Chain A
Amino acid sequence: MPKSQFMDPDVLRQPGFVEFEPIPVNQYNKTIKEESKNFSKEDFMRIYRDMAIIREFEQMLLDIKTKSEYQGISYNNPGPAHLSLGQEASAVGQAYLLDKNDYIFGSHRSHGEILAKGLSCIHKLDDKELLADMEGFFDGATYRVVEGKEKDKGNVKDLAIDFLLYGALAEIFARETGFNKGLGGSMHAFFTPFGIYPNNAIVGGSATIAMGASMFKRINGKPGIVVSNVGDASMGRGPVWEALNMGAMDQITQLWEEGHNKGLPIIFNFFNNLYGMGGQTVGETMAYNILARVGAGVSPTQLHAERVDGYNPLAVIDAMRRKMEILNNQGGPVLMDTLTYRMTGHSPSDASTYRTKEEVDKWAEHDVLVNFEKKLVEAKVAKADDFAAMREDIRERMMKIVNLAIDDNVSPRMDLAKNPNIIADMMFSNQKIEKMEDRTPDVLIPKEENPRVQKIAKKERFGFDKNGKPVSKNKVYQLRDGLFEAIIDKFYEDPTLVAYGEDNRDWGGAYAVYQGLTESLPYHRFFNSPISESAIAGSAVGYAMSGGRVIAEIMYCDFIGCCGDEIFNQLAKWQSMSAGVLKMPVIIRVSVGSKYGAQHSQDWTSMCAHVPGLKVVFPVTPYDAKGIMNSALNGTDPVIVFESQRIYDVGEQFHEGGVPEGYYEVEIGEPDIKKEGKDVTILTIGATLYRALDAAKELEEKYGISAEVIDARSIVPFNYEKVLESVKKTGRIVLASDACTRGSALNTIAQNITEMAFDYLDAPPVVVGAQNWITPCYELDAEFFPQKEWIIDAIHEKILPLPGHVATINFTETEQIRKNKKGV
C-alpha cells in the first residue's frame, strides 16, 4: 500500500488490450560445427561423460531395484528410486554453466540434477577448494571412504567424482556416510558445498523454497543464481503459482532500494517429462498445452519464458546462457519449460499403463546419448571407440562405488541401538547466534530516532502503579511493545534479518506489532507479501537455509491451513533431514483471533506441536513476549510464535519491576508459575491464563481453595519438572487452553503428568478446552471458549466437589461419552 504509487482511475479505466510477446519453443538449431567455437573437444566429451555417468548411475539403481543385482553385485534396496533415465541431457545442459555459488533445488526425481551439478562444480573448482570441501564435510566421514581409491592416483577431480557418486549413492542406500547421513535418502539427497540444495519429495515443494533462497541472494547481495527444478505436473500446485507471483512481485523492481531492486535471480525450471506419475499433463490434467505459456500470465516480462529442447544438451546450455544473462542484467524471475522424457516409469513399480510401447520406443530413437555421440562422431570430434571406452570406464567406476556403498563396514548405517539419540539430537540445532553475518545492518535511521521506540520510552513498563492500581492502556507497555522491542533490537543487530507477511509495512501489521518498523527499515528488509501463505512460509525456509534469519507472519492462525506443507513438511524437517547441515532460524508469527468466527479464531498450537521439528511458543505477558521473542530470534531453530489478539494490549502484571529495557531471554520450554497455590494446579496455554487467574481468585474467595496457576509459555519443548513439582504438591490439576479439546496438546501434557505423578494425584488431570465445534460469532464466545466458570466446574465435577457450588457446564462422564459418540 505504498502512497508513492498512485492508482489513477483516469489511467486505469482506459480501454486497451493486454499484449503478449511470442514465447519461443525449441528455437535452438545449431550444429556441432557451429558450436565448435563455443565448446572445445574436451567440453563436448565432458558433456557426454556427465550424461553417461547419470545414465549408468540410474541404470545401476534400476538393476538393483528390479533385479537386486548390478554387474554381478547383489544388493537389495528397499528405499525409493524415482529415476531420470532419458532426462540426462536436460540435467547436464542446465548444470554446465553453474558453479558452487549457484544453488539448485530439486524434486523427487533429481539424481541426475545433483550429479550434473556436482560434476560441473568439480570441473570448475581447483584441487585445493575441492579437497577442502570434501575433507570439511562431516569431518571427512564421506571423504575417507573414497580417499586414495581414485583410478588416476593423485587426480583430485577423479577422486572428487568418486566422492560425489559415493556420497549420493550412500545417501540413497541410507548409509551414515551418505551426504545427509542417510536421513534424506533418494528423494532428498543434496550437498550444499557444491551449491546442491535440498531435493523435495513434495511435488513443487522446491518452488517457494528456491524463491526464498533467491530473495536471500538479492537482499544480501550474494553472487550466483538459484534454480528451482520441479516437474511439469507441479504446475497444478498452488504454492508453485504463489512462488512465481511472489518471486516476480512488482515491489522488487519498483520499491526496493538501489542495489536490491533487480528482479530475483531465479530460474523456475520445469523439467517437463509430460507426466505427473501417470497423469498426462498435456491433453489430460493441465490446461497450458505448452507449459511455457504460463510465464506470460504472471508478469509483463512473461518471466522470459521459453520452451527448450531438453533432449539436446547444447540447446539447454544455450538457453541457460541466455537466461543467466537476463538474471545478471535486469533480473528475473525466468521460467524455463525444459522438454524431456523419462524412459522408465515414475518408479520401478510403475507399469506404465498410461502410455504405449510405441511412444516409449519412439522416444528411445531420440535417445540423448546415442544421438549426441552420433553427432559428435559425425562432426569428427571423437571416434565411437572413445565413447565405448568412456562408458566402460564409467561402468568400472560405478562398480567400485556400489561395492563401497553396500559394504556395511565402510558404509555403516546409523547405529541407533548404540546411540539412540542420534536423530533426536538433530531435531533442533539449539544454537545461539546473535547475527547470521557480521556486517552493518541496512537501516534508515538510528534506533533511538525511531518514533515507536521513543513512544515506548514514555510508557510504564509494569502494569500497576505504586498503589497497585492498573496503569491505563494508553500509558502501559503492552504485549505488542514487548514483541516490537525484541524484533527491532534484532533488526539493528543481524543484517540478514528480514520480516514480511501480509500488511506488514506501512500498516504495521494487522495488530500494530510492527508499527514504527517501516520508519527504520528499507523495503528489502521489511515488506508486504502477497496473500500467499505458502510462498510466505516456503520462502522463509529457503531464506534461512541459505544463511539468513527471517520473521514471517501468518496473519491468522487459521491460515496455517494454507501453508501446511511449508510449515509441517519443509520448515519442520530440513534441519534433521540434512543431518544438521542446514540451520533454520525462522520465526513464524501467528496471530490467534477471537471475534471473527470459524475461520479466524482457532488456536492451532496443538497441530504445530504434533509435528516434530518445530518449537511452539505462546507468550501471553509483555515480559514473556519480549523474552521469548529474544530467545527465538537469537536461536537457530524454527519457532512458531503464537500471539493472541485478545491481549496485545495487556500490561505486565507478574514480573516485578516490569519489562526490562535491556536484552534478556526467557528460555523456550520453561513454564512459569504466575500465581502460587497449594490445593490445585491450573496449567494454561495462551490467553486462557487470565481466565484461569480469575478462576483462582474465585476458588480462593468462595471455596477457600488455593490454586497454583502455571503458564506453559512453550508447548514444544516443554520442561515438566516445574509442573510435576506443583502437581505433587497439590495433587490436582486442570489444564486449559482455547484450542478445541479433541487432540489438544493439553491431552498429551495431561497424559505425561498422569504417568509421572500418578501416585500423587487425587484425581485424574482434567483438560478444559474449547468445544469441538466451529467457533461461533463473538457474541457466543463464552459458550465456546473455556471460561472461568468452566475451570471451577471442572474442579467441582471431576476433581474436588466444592460444597455449595452449582455447576453450569456438564462435565459428567455420560456427557463426555455422548459428546464423543457424536464427534463433538
Chain B
Amino acid sequence: MATPVIMPRQGQSVESCIIGKWHKQKGDQVNVGDMLFTYETDKATFDEEATVAGTLLEVFFEEGDDVECLLNVCVIGEPGEDISAFRPEGEAEEAPAEAAKEEAPAAAAPAAVAAPALSDTAKDNVFISPRAKNHAEKLGVDVRFAEGSGPNGRIIERDVEALAQSGVAFTKAAQAAAAGSTDQFEGTGIGGRVTTGDLKKPVAQAVTEAMAAEEGVAYTDTPLTNIRKVISKSMHNSLSTTAQLTLNTSFDATEIMAYRKKLKANAEKLGLGNITLNDIVLYAVSRTLLEGHEDLNAHMLDDKMRRFNHVNLGVAVDTPRGLMVPTIFCSELKSLAEISAETKELAGACQGGTISPDLLTGGSFTVTNLGSFGIESFTPVLNAPQTGILGVDTIVQRAKEVDGEIKYYPAMGLSLTFDHRAVDGAPAAKFLKDLKNNLENFSVLLAK
C-alpha cells in the first residue's frame, strides 16, 4: 500500500517549510533510510529520510516550494498504485509538458475566432468550465486574468489558450502562493512565468492603470534608433568576441577630494571651479597608462596588438539617445584644466547631438562613470577592440587602522575590465595599483 510522506513540523511555531533539494526523483527506487529531500525553516535545514521502501510514486512539490507542515510531500509505494487520495488539496494532477502542448491547439479554428481579449485586471469571482480550469492548471496560467468568451462570459478552454499565449503564467508553487491575491506580478521565470520570487514585487498599480489606459495593450513597439542599433551591435560584439574580466578596487579619495575642495574654494581666483573628481580620475588615467601599461592603451586586433603612442581617452557619456563615447585625443599631453574643459565640451556636443563623428572614434582606452548613481562596483563592457575600460564608482566611507586608531576615509571604487586575451590579470592589477597610488598621491602626480 502506498505511503505518503508529510512535511514534518519542526517545532510548534513552524507553519511551513521550504523544500531545499530533492535527492530522489519521481520513479526512483527508495530504500529505508535513503534521503528523500531537504527542507528548511527560517532557522535551519533538515533532511527527510525514507521510512518505507518502494518507488517514489509522486512528488507533489518542487524545490523551492513553501509547503505547509503536515501536508503530503510525496508518496512511496508500488508502481501502479492509486495515489490520488494522497494528493494535497489544490494540487492538481500534473501532466507532462508535451501532453499539455498537444492539447494546446485551440479547439476552434483560431483564424476564424477573434482573439479573446486578455483581461486587464484580475477577477475574484471567476466562472470557468472544468475543462478550462484543468487546462489552466496544466499551462500554469492564472485564470483570473482570462476573459471569458463562453456563454454568459464563462471562461472556456479557448480563453485559457489565449491567455497562455499572451502571458500571465505562473509556476505551480507561485500560483498556489498567489491564490487570493489580486496583484499583478511580473514574471521572471522560464517563459516569463511568475515565480514565487516575483510574488514579492507586485508591479505598481499605476502600471496596471497605465496599461488599462492604453486600452489593454501591454506594450509599445518602437523602431530602434541607429544609435541604439550601434550600441546593441557593439555591446554584443564586445561581449562575444573578447575575453572580458573585471577587477575591482578602491582608493582613498581624501587627497583628491581635498584638492577639489581647494580648487572650488579658489574658483574665482583660479577659474578651475568646474573640475570634477571624474576629471581628476581622467587625468590620472592619462598619466598612468603610459607608465608601463601600454598593453591597456591598445587595440586587440585579429593577429596583432596595436599599442598607441598617445592616450586617446574615451569618455562614456549618457545622452537621451543612448550611450556615446567621445575621445580626448593625446590626453597625456593635456593639463587637468584642459582635460576637464574638453570633457565638458564633448559631453555637451554629445547631448546636443552636434558631436562630430570623428570624435566618436579613435579611442585607445575608455573611462565610464556610474559613481554619481551610487554604483559601488560594476562590470563595464569593453569598447572593443580597446583592451581596457575603467569604471568609476561612488564614494563610500570605509574604516582603516592608522596608528592603532580606526579612522574613516572616503573610498572611491574602481572597476577595471580588460581583455584577458591581451592582458594578463597581474599586469591589469598592477595598472590599478599604480592608478590608485597616483590618485592617493595626486599632488605628486601633478608635480610630475
Contacts and interface: CB of A to CB of B under 8 A. Distances in A.
Contact of A678 (B107, B114, B129, B132): B107
A703 B112 contact: yes
A649 interface: no
Contacts of B108: 679, 703-705, 800, 802
B129 A705 contact: no
B111 A800 contact: no
A337 B250 CA distance: 128
Most-contacted residue by chain A among B108, B113, B134 (CB, 10 A): B108
B154 A763 contact: yes
A759 B149 contact: no
Contacts of B112: 703-704, 803
A610 interface: no
A542 to B, nearest CB: 51
A278 B321 CA distance: 108
A731 to B, nearest CB: 4
A799 B151 CA distance: 6
Given A731-B131, A731-B157, A803-B114, A762 B150 contact: yes
Given A798-B151, A799-B151, A801-B150, A762 B156 contact: yes
Interface in A756-772: 758-763
Contacts of B425: none
B180 to A, nearest CB: 23
B130 interface: yes
Interface string B150-178: 11101011100000000000000000000
A763 B149 CA distance: 12
Contact of A801 (B107, B129, B151): B151
Interface string B126-152: 000111101000000000000001111
Contact of A731 (B107, B114, B152, B154): B107
A762 B131 contact: yes
Contacts of A705: 107-109
A730 interface: yes
A442 interface: no
Contacts of B113: 803
B107 A800 contact: yes
B109 A762 contact: no
A672 interface: no
A732 B129 CA distance: 10
Nearest to B114: A803
B253 to A, nearest CB: 68
B199 to A, nearest CB: 27
Nearest to A763: B129
A797 interface: yes
Given A679-B107, A703-B109, A803-B113, A759 B131 contact: yes
Contacts of A680: 107
A732 B150 CA distance: 12
Nearest to A700: B109
A762 B161 CA distance: 13
Nearest to B106: A679
A760 B150 contact: no
Interface residues of A, number: 23
A704 B130 contact: no
B151 A762 contact: no
A318 B15 CA distance: 96
B436 to A, nearest CB: 68
A744 to B, nearest CB: 21
Contacts of A797: 151
**Of listed A705, A758, A759, residue having the most chain B CB within 10 A:** A759
Contacts, number: 60
A800 B109 contact: no
A800 B150 contact: yes
Contacts of A678: 107
Contacts of A758: 130
A761 B150 CA distance: 13
B150 A763 contact: yes
A761 B131 CA distance: 5
Contacts of B150: 762-763, 799-801
A704 B154 contact: no
B357 to A, nearest CB: 55
A760 B108 CA distance: 16
A816 to B, nearest CB: 12
Contacts of A799: 150-151
Given A703-B112, A800-B150, A803-B113, A763 B134 contact: no
A760 B114 contact: no
A732 B108 CA distance: 12
Contact of A763 (B109, B111, B114, B156): B156
A518 B134 CA distance: 61
Contacts of A800: 107-108, 150, 156, 158
A390 B214 CA distance: 107
A759 B130 contact: yes
A678 B109 CA distance: 12
B132 A762 contact: yes
B106 to A, nearest CB: 9
A801 B108 CA distance: 10
Contact of B134 (A703, A760, A813): A760
Contacts of A801: 149-151
Contact of B157 (A762, A798, A803): A762
Nearest to B132: A762
B53 to A, nearest CB: 33
A648 B153 CA distance: 44
B120 to A, nearest CB: 21
A360 B150 CA distance: 75
B103 to A, nearest CB: 10
Interface string A413-436: 000000000000000000000000
Question: Could you say which of B114, B132, B134, B156 has the most chain A C-beta atoms within 10 Å of its C-beta?
Answer: B156
Nearest to A728: B131
A473 to B, nearest CB: 36
Interface in A695-737: 703-705, 730-732
Interface string A677-689: 0111000000000
Interface string B90-119: 000000000000000001110111100000
Interface string B292-313: 0000000000000000000000
Nearest to B157: A762
Contacts of B151: 763, 797-799, 801
Contacts of A813: 152
B370 to A, nearest CB: 53
B129 to A, nearest CB: 4
Contacts of B157: 731, 762
A730 B108 CA distance: 11
Contacts of B114: 803
A335 B109 CA distance: 74
B107 A730 contact: yes
A759 to B, nearest CB: 5
Most interface-central of A703, A704, A758, A802 (chain B CB within 10 A)? A704
Contacts of B131: 731, 759-762
A704 B156 contact: no
Contacts of B107: 678-680, 705, 730-732, 762, 800
Contacts of A732: 107
A730 B158 CA distance: 12
Given A798-B151, A799-B151, A801-B149, A762 B129 contact: yes
B131 to A, nearest CB: 4
A704 B113 CA distance: 9
A813 B153 CA distance: 13
B129 A761 contact: yes
Which of B109, B112, B113, B129 is the most central at the interface, judged by chain A CB atoms within 10 Å of its CB? B129
B162 to A, nearest CB: 13
6 contacts: A704-B108, A731-B157, A761-B129, A762-B157, A763-B151, A799-B150
Given A760-B134, A762-B130, 12 more contacts: A678-B107, A680-B107, A704-B109, A705-B109, A731-B131, A731-B157, A762-B156, A800-B107, A800-B108, A801-B149, A802-B108, A803-B113
Q: Which 3 A-B pairs have the closest CB atoms?
A: A704-B109, A762-B131, A731-B131
